[in-house]
Amino acid sequence: MTIFDKILAGEIPADRVYENDDVLAFRDINPQAPVHVLVIPKTRWSSLIGLADADPAAAGRFMAGVAATARELGLEESGYRTVFNTGDDAQQTVRYLHAHILGGRKMNWPPG
């Protein structure tokens, strides 16, 4: 069981900012920008590829949830970055699909 499973189960508190039938979004406990929110699907997948291969419609609903979260956070006009870390080389620390939404400041490029 991952920390995200425990958050979904209500075993660990989280500062929830958006939720629908498919996703839960909450503030990151170690923010890397003034706005740093994680968006997770309510069903566990280890990667976006796995979800898209198994259920393309669910992948679309997940991405729609990421967009709805960014809109809810008021980032639509100023801009934001969406990051998916997948696998060891990308420093994925929780093996549960999640998107990072970062905003509230000007981002740098390249990111990594």
Catalytic residues: 98
Q: Are 96 and 44 in contact (CB under 8 A)?
A: yes
Q: Which of 57, 37, 34, 46 is nearest to 5 (CA)?
A: 46
DSSP-derived 3-state class of residue 53: helix
What are 55's two structure tokens?
């259920």
Q: Are 14 and 1 in contact (CB under 8 A)?
A: no
